[in-house]
């Protein structure tokens, strides 16, 4: 599991939400081992992206690619700052 917490300025929330379907489509097409994602809105302009991967290796390979496709880049462009990024394992 990938747990990424980030901040989005209020003026970019619509941009983030509009870009989300394209990001998911690009992940499905380009990221081996991508199983799904859930986006959670938190207080204080923060968001949590919970992304499920088949393996740690798939998560690492995805991270290395960065914003290599337009849908992913559009989503990342709406993010103001990264708060934290962690990897966990479901029991």
Q: pLDDT category, 38, cuts 50, 70, 90? A: very high
| Averaged pLDDT score across all residues of the chain | 97
CA distance 24 to 28: 6
CATH fold, domain 2-87, is: Alpha-Beta Plaits (3.30.70)
CA distance 32 to 29: 8
% residues pLDDT > 70 (the chain): 100
**What are the extents of the domains in the chain?**
2-87
How much is the pLDDT for 9?
97
């Amino acid at each position: 599991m990938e747990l990424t917490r980030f901040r989005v300025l209020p003026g970019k929330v619509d941009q983030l939400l509009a870009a989300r379907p394209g990001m998911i489509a690009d992940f499905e097409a380009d990221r081996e081992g991508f199983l799904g994602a859930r986006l959670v809105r938190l207080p204080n302009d923060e968001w949590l992206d919970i992304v499920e991967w088949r393996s740690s290796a798939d998560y690492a390979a995805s991270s290395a690619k960065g914003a290599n496709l337009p849908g992913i880049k559009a989503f990342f462009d709406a993010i103001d700052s990264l708060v934290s990024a962690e990897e966990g394992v479901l029991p």
